[in-house]
Each structure stands twice: as C-alpha cells, then as structure tokens.
Structure 1
C-alpha cells in the first residue's frame, strides 16, 4: 500500500495527500498514432533464461501454447510427442529450439513471448470468443501479432482500463493467482456523493456474501466532487468494486482500472494498445510492484 508522499516513477502513481496523479514516465515502444494497425517496429521479447539453450520438453510444449506443463507430461508419457521423429516418453527430456518436435505428427513450434497492453473500452468483453457475437478484446488486437495471446484476468464488459494480454502462461498465473495479491487501482464514478463515514467503512472493511473485503487506500478524486473516488485493492474477486459500493447503497455509474501490477494506461486512448518493452516485462517478473 502506498503511503502519503510515496512517489513512484515507473508507470505508477504519485500521491500527495488526497491528490492522485498517474504519470507516464515509463518509456514505451507503442505507436500512439496507430489505433488498431500492426506496429511493425515492435519486437517480441523473451524473458526466459538461456532461451537459446536446451529446455525441458514439457516447457517447450507449454511455451508453444499447446497445453500446460502438467498436461504435456501426460502427452509425453503416452508417446504422443516425438523429437526428430523418435517418440519421447521420459520425463525431463531436454530439447533445443532447432529440434523437430511433433505432437500427434503435427509440428510444434515454441512461440516468442508477447506482452501487450490494452486500454480496454466500454461494451467490450474480456474473452477470446463470445457466443453472442459481441465485441471482444481479441477483436481489438487481432492485427497485433501472429502469436496466440490471451487476457490476463478479466474486466467486466462495462469496465474500462488497463488490461494485459500475453502468451506467457507463467507470468499470467503469477499476476492472477490470489496468493500474489496484485495491486489494482480504480477510478470510480458513483450515482451520488459518498460521505466520509462510508469511505471509512470501506477502509476498515465490510462483509459481503463471499467474505470480508476492504480498501487498501481510498480517497476522493477531488474535494469538490464527492461522486468520484479512487480506490486501491488487492482482491481479484468478481465484480468486487461494484459490489463493495452497492453494499452501501451506491450505484457505480462508470468504472475505470487505471493501474494493475505496476502498469498504467500511459497515453493510450480507449481501444488503443501497445507492446511492453523489456524493462516493463522485467518489472513484472521481478514483482517490483505488489
């Protein structure tokens, strides 16, 4: 939790008393003049150590997006995976990226890692496919890369803001698992002004149907408008922000996630995206931001 006068200069925020400022000092390779076009100058970054050396076969399969490592072990055990035409059944087998790896006689390629930041707009669902035919986040980034990337966590259809997409399953698990409790900050617009007593309740903690919850930090966006709130939490429970305010009789008119695990929207407009750079990916892996 940030304390007053605690200043962060990496894609984070600065807080001075009740004043919140989300800065854009982190350098990025994103092309802000291009809304949905392919950003040709962007390279895909790998953060794997010794990425050119031999790696375990189950990891190679997982990196390809085929399956998880656990399921890869099952495929290996049943002889469905071949290395240079020879079935592999031993756990711990290592392969090079130059090896010919097949699964059910189909070639498997280990994908480059891709890390994409999207400023999610309203009326857009966070899913890879929607049976109802609604606009999805995948529609917005379909020209971004050839790799199969997926959203890290979820934002409600009408919630806007910071959303990370990647094909890095290891990082995704680290950012979304409840044990890691990553920080999220939201800008909330309410149907009416919230009084100081209710802000204090949210800070101390309230009880919902699925357990207790509290705001790690909460304040008015400005002292003149009591309907706008900045709230910091670490929980990833479904609709948690909306439910917190609804439990006290307020209706959330608009909700925007401005911070997630050290990432902000930078200067991205709604619907725009960019790739993270090496420094940003490293920050996520090092868990520099809670």
Structure 2
C-alpha cells in the first residue's frame, strides 16, 4: 500500500480528489471518502491519504474501471420530436447525442433526466457527474415549465382539480402553477418540480385528455431563447453557477 504523495518529474500534479471529481464520479468531498476507504488505486497501488497529489498522467482506477479526466462540459439542447434521451436505443431510434457535434464537443456528455420520444424542449447535458446526480435527485426541486396543447378545451372543474393536486396511482401530483395560454383553453402553461416519469402527460390523461404537443420551455432559470429546435449551446459560467447553487445542499 502506498500512502505518501506521488511525485512527478515534470511537476504536473493534481489533487486526487479533484481528479476523481473531474472524471465525473462524484464531488470532491465524496471523493475523499472513497480515497480513505481504499477504493481508489493510482498506477496499481491503493491510495488512502487525503490531499494526495498525483501526476496528471497517472492511471487512476475505481471499481475496476480506469477514470478519464475530461474538461467539464455543460450543454443546453432544444430537443426536437423523434429523439430518445437514452444513450442508445435497442430499437435503433435516434438519440439526443446524435445532435451533439463532435467537432465542437469532444467530451461524452449525458442528458440529465428524460424527455419522452414525442416531447420537445429543454434538456441539459453534461459530463459533470456530481451536478447531474444532484439535479436528478427527487429533493432537488428544480422547476420545469411546459407548454401543453390538448385535444380539447380543459374544463373549469378539471383546471381546478389540477391546481389542487391530483391523486394518481403513485401519489399526489402537485403543480406549482397552471395557466391558460393566449386565452385558448386547449393550450396551457404548467410549472412543476416533480420528476416522476411522464408526470405532465399522466396528469392530463388521468382526466381524459390527450396531449397533442408537450414542449419544455423552461428548466430552472434556463429558457429556449435563441436556441432553434435541434440546436444546442454551451452554458455560460453564470448559468452553470446558478445551477450548482440551486442544488448545493442536495444530497448525493
């Protein structure tokens, strides 16, 4: 077992916990726990000392897999209809990763949460494992805003039912706000922080409506402004910081 700091003849050193964090495994504090527990090896040797610095060229392994340090990337995509948000699809359908040009983003990013095959709108992708876990956590309370188009006008009674909270098969579905769009009772804006599977569609289907179109137009403080359908942008530092601050107390 090797417990002393690793040196590098070229002076290119990085703290081991930062290396693990940059690899998208977890936050630095959690990385220190992995190190102390002996779960991390560097060049084949177990490392247990908190604060150890290692060469950037070192081979770091966790659970039998070699970690790869990449530049952390944060993307915002305006998802079109007809794409799945899984990394690959057994049916051979296109995935959102097919929309990310390797010419501009060499790193392999992953979608946070999911949007249905026929659902359009905002999707955040990143290789920051810590942030992805926190944003996906049920207690993160990240608000999502959707534009819903129904097959028929919503009744006053059903509108109030949704506002009050509907009892679905897996519990109460609570919305943060609900409004009619452009004075058209077939179009609604719904804000919700719940992350349950297909929750928006299930709310309306429970009351006998078909959702003809579902578009996520807001995620936390982010909007689709200036992002055409099927296009994506790198998030600005300010937006990344706001996302991190939003979930800084969310457990991993």
Q: TM-score range by the shorter chain?
A: 0.7 to 0.9
- In the alignment of these two chains, the number of paired residues is 230
Among candidates 70, 95, 100, match of residue 57 of structure 2: 100
Cα distance in 2 between the residues matched to 1:107 and 1:203: 49
Q: What is residue 240 of structure 1 aligned with on the other side?
A: 199
Please say if 1:77 is aligned against 2:77: no
Matched residue SS, 1:61:
helix
**Alignment check: 8 A CA contact 1:119 1:161 kept:** yes
**Alignment check: 8 A CA contact 1:100 1:107 kept:** no
Matched residue SS, 1:267:
coil
Q: What is residue 128 of structure 1 aligned with on the other side?
A: 87
1:34-84 superposed Cα distances (whole Å, 9 cap, x missing partner): xxxxxxxxxxxxxxxxxx9853x244234224x4567x9389836x722xx
1:191-221 superposed Cα distances (whole Å, 9 cap, x missing partner): 0000222111100111000000122110100
1:128-186 superposed Cα distances (whole Å, 9 cap, x missing partner): 11121101000000424111210011111110000000011111122111111110110
* CA RMSD in angstroms, aligned pairs only: 2.8
Cα distance in 1 between the residues matched to 2:65 and 2:244: 32
Matched residue SS, 1:219:
strand
List alignment gaps of at least 5 residues for structure 1.
Answer: 1-51
Q: What is residue 3 of structure 2 aligned with on the other side?
A: none
**Alignment check: 8 A CA contact 1:81 1:87 kept:** yes
Cα distance in 1 between the residues matched to 2:196 and 2:242: 24
Q: What is residue 19 of structure 2 aligned with on the other side?
A: 60
Q: Which has the higher helix share?
A: 2
Please say if 1:209 is aligned against 2:169: yes
**Alignment check: 8 A CA contact 1:76 1:89 kept:** no
1:88 positional shift: 3.3
1:259 positional shift: 0.5
Cα distance in 2 between the residues matched to 1:287 and 1:62: 19
Q: What is residue 150 of structure 2 aligned with on the other side?
A: 190
Please say if 1:161 is aligned against 2:161: no
**Alignment check: 8 A CA contact 1:160 1:255 kept:** yes
Q: What is residue 170 of structure 1 aligned with on the other side?
A: 130
1:94 positional shift: 2.4
**Alignment check: 8 A CA contact 1:76 1:91 kept:** no
Matched residue SS, 1:138:
helix
TM-score when normalising by structure 1:
0.72
* Aligned pairs for 1:5-84 within 5 A: 54-55=14-15, 57-65=16-24, 67-68=25-26, 73=34, 77=38, 81-82=41-42
Among candidates 241, 247, 252, match of residue 282 of structure 1: 241
Matched residue SS, 1:101:
coil
Cα distance in 2 between the residues matched to 1:245 and 1:218: 12
Q: What is residue 87 of structure 1 aligned with on the other side?
A: 45
1:110 positional shift: 2.0
Higher relative contact order (CA 8 A, sep 6+): 1
Matched residue SS, 2:125:
strand
List alignment gaps of at least 5 residues for structure 2.
Answer: 1-11, 248-252
Cα distance in 1 between the residues matched to 2:105 and 2:220: 23
Cα 1:135–1:248 shift into 2, 3 Å: same
